[in-house]
Structure 1
Amino acid sequence: MTVTVPRHVLPGGLARRAEALDKSAAWHIRQLDCSPEAFTLAFGTSSLAALTHCGEDPRAADLATWEAWVTAMQVGSALFATSTATAGTVECRIADEVRTLQAGGPQYAGNPENWISAFWLAIVCREPERLTALARVPVEVLRASGAECPGYVYPWVETLQTWWLRGGDLGASLDAAIAGTDPEGLHREDRSLMLRILYPPMNLFLFYVTADHAGFNEALADALRWHREYWTGLDEGAGNSNSLVALGPLAMACLAYDAGFPLTIESDYLPRHLFAGSWVGEFDTLSGCCLSVRGCGVSAGQE
């Protein structure tokens, strides 16, 4: 039986907001040619643009929505390619243009929480080469960003890297990540974020790797309800672009869908054409995509 988790009531003007974010993201992306520090705003605005397109286009049926998601994915991939390379230049395809960017080494934007978002975007866009490159980003590079992160973050990154590269003790790192989500000692607001937003993708991942179809569907429905509860419980949270799509659960749904799980959950928080991969292959997203590093003797994505 199909279970529908309705999205919360949205404010008006989301189409105009998406258009404005597209323009802002394009401007910040152009600044990447000048300074690696521009990644903070380039990745932030392009990610928000992708999410905001799904406000008026909840099934992601429009080409413009797919283009926005691809652009955000490409910016995230480029961010960690330039953070990993310490000298020379990196060729990255972003927004239908191959750009030559300066390798900058670790930077604040190259933090583990942005890494997780970039990984989700690469899963949604079905980009295995980018997933491999992200999985090979050393955790030390993420630590060197200087960002303060919750205790679960680094073992969660290691879990995803271990899973994708098929090496190491997946169970131990996942256990450590889940243990790091213990809400004891957190402020009420942080506890809500942990329980309703940060923990659910780990729970879904556990059901995914154990091929528990029924458990996955139940956990997915819970994750979407908690997503709605979290954002509608914040002042003006229901109008936040991050509320429009449950990004982590969406990435997990993409994995489950591709693995043949019989998904029985429907929701505008999970744009249908994104988790079904309907747009994949519509146009070239990969040529020159952060796989070529010049002047430093190391190729991104190589061990």
Structure 2
Amino acid sequence: MTVIVTRHDFSADDAEGWCELLHDGAVEAIDELDADSRNFDHAFLMTLTEAEARCLRDPLAEYAPTWRAWVAAMQVGSALFASATASDARVEARIAGKLRSIPASGPQYSANAGNWLKAFWLAVICREQDRMTQLCAVPISLLRESGAEYDEYIYDWIDALQSYWLNRGNVSEKLVAAVDGTKPETAVIASPELMLKILHPPLELFYRYLRQDSEQFNSTLADAVRRHKEYWTADEDRASSSEGLLALAPLAMACLGHDADFPAEVRSDYLPQALVEGAWIGEIEY
């Protein structure tokens, strides 16, 4: 039985004009990377915001400008960590249709655990397995050096994802450690509401995926999307944030489920169908 979760109303008087402004800002931010890798935080924010915003008018992600925006965000996220781990003075990265030479940054604030997860989810959504492998080679110690503050669970979570993708073993133990770290008595930085509705559900989804339990995976996915909606409609400020237009981590998990041939039983504009199905894969040069 298909579960449908409708997306909340989002106010945008001129959505097309808004997307074009975001696109122009994203292009400018990307161009600035050639001069200074410290601009990565801004470039990643702008490209991901554009990708999310384009799904307002294109909820299925059917159109080329939407997919190009998602690819650009994925490319920036991957380049961020390529720059942070580079042994040479500069790294070459194709972003938004152009080969760019970006200074190596070493550890910096933008190379943090939160951005690593976003970059990884984007690589999963775009089915970029080489980029997934490169991201999984990023040392967790480098993420800690960023200076960004997170609850400890996030490093166990990243360790579990890296270990799964690189076949390092002990994935279940690391996932259990991450889940334990999300408990209210353990997590001190993320609010209980954020943890319950946004941060914890992807861990449960990954557990169901590892077990190849498609029935429980779909049930958990539906619950994750409902919690996402509850969180992003809790007040006016959240409801007006483009970040709430889709559920990034559950979307990436839905992509994994789709590629594992799990029956698609959850439909929602929070999970754009063309992204879940990888409809644009191979259509745009990366």
Normalising TM by the smaller chain, what interval?
over 0.9
State the AA in 2 paired with 1:128. Q
Cα separation, 2, equivalents of 1:60 and 1:145: 33
Offset at residue 146 of structure 1 (A): 1.1
Where do residues 191-270 of structure 1 align in structure 2 (5 Å cutoff)? 191-270=192-271
Hey, what does 1:9 align to over in structure 2? 9
More relative contact order in 1 or in 2 (CA 8 Å, sep 6+)? Answer: 1
Structure 2 gap segments, 5+ residues each: none
- Give yes or no for contact 1:15–1:55 (8 Å, CA) kept in 2: no
- Give yes or no for contact 1:231–1:237 (8 Å, CA) kept in 2: yes
Query: Which stretch shifts more, 133-142 or 10-19?
Result: 10-19
State the AA in 2 paired with 1:121. L
Offset at residue 234 of structure 1 (A): 2.7
Where do residues 90-239 of structure 1 align in structure 2 (5 Å cutoff)? 90-184=91-185, 190-239=191-240
Cα separation, 1, equivalents of 2:50 and 2:31: 16
Offset at residue 263 of structure 1 (A): 1.7
Offset at residue 50 of structure 1 (A): 0.5
Give the 3-state SS of the residue equivalent to 1:101 in structure 2.
Answer: strand
- Give yes or no for contact 2:124–2:252 (8 Å, CA) kept in 1: yes
- Give yes or no for contact 1:106–1:145 (8 Å, CA) kept in 2: yes
Cα separation, 2, equivalents of 1:231 and 1:207: 25
Give the 3-state SS of the residue equivalent to 2:99 in structure 1.
Answer: strand
1:91-114 per-residue CA deviation (whole Å, 9 max, x = no partner) reads 100000010111111110000110
- Give yes or no for contact 2:112–2:146 (8 Å, CA) kept in 1: yes
Following superposition, which runs of at least 4 residues in structure 1 exceed 6 angstroms of deviation? 185-189
Q: Percent identity?
A: 47
User: Per the alignment, do residues 19 and 183 of structure 1 end up closer, same or farther by CA in structure 2, a change over 3 Å counting?
Assistant: farther
1:164-190 per-residue CA deviation (whole Å, 9 max, x = no partner) reads 101131011101111111123768981
1:32-58 per-residue CA deviation (whole Å, 9 max, x = no partner) reads 011110001000111111011001110
Query: Which stretch shifts more, 184-193 or 75-84?
Result: 184-193
- Give yes or no for contact 1:208–1:256 (8 Å, CA) kept in 2: yes
Hey, what does 1:61 align to over in structure 2? 62
Cα separation, 1, equivalents of 2:83 and 2:139: 13
Cα separation, 1, equivalents of 2:15 and 2:246: 13
Offset at residue 86 of structure 1 (A): 4.3
Query: Which stretch shifts more, 11-20 or 50-59?
Result: 11-20
Hey, what does 1:83 align to over in structure 2? 84
User: Per the alignment, do residues 204 and 26 of structure 1 end up closer, same or farther by CA in structure 2, a change over 3 Å counting?
Assistant: same
Hey, what does 1:297 align to over in structure 2? none
- Give yes or no for contact 1:183–1:195 (8 Å, CA) kept in 2: no
1:113-149 per-residue CA deviation (whole Å, 9 max, x = no partner) reads 1000000000000000100000001111111111111
State the AA in 1 paired with 2:205. L
User: Per the alignment, do residues 85 and 189 of structure 1 end up closer, same or farther by CA in structure 2, a change over 3 Å counting?
Assistant: closer
Cα separation, 1, equivalents of 2:52 and 2:184: 27
Cα separation, 1, equivalents of 2:174 and 2:116: 17
Cα separation, 2, equivalents of 1:16 and 1:177: 41
Offset at residue 235 of structure 1 (A): 2.9
Query: Structure 2 length normalisation: TM-score?
Result: 0.97
Offset at residue 18 of structure 1 (A): 1.7
Query: Structure 1 length normalisation: TM-score?
Result: 0.91
Cα separation, 2, equivalents of 1:217 and 1:168: 26
User: RMSD of the alignment, in Å?
Assistant: 1.4
- Give yes or no for contact 1:152–1:178 (8 Å, CA) kept in 2: yes
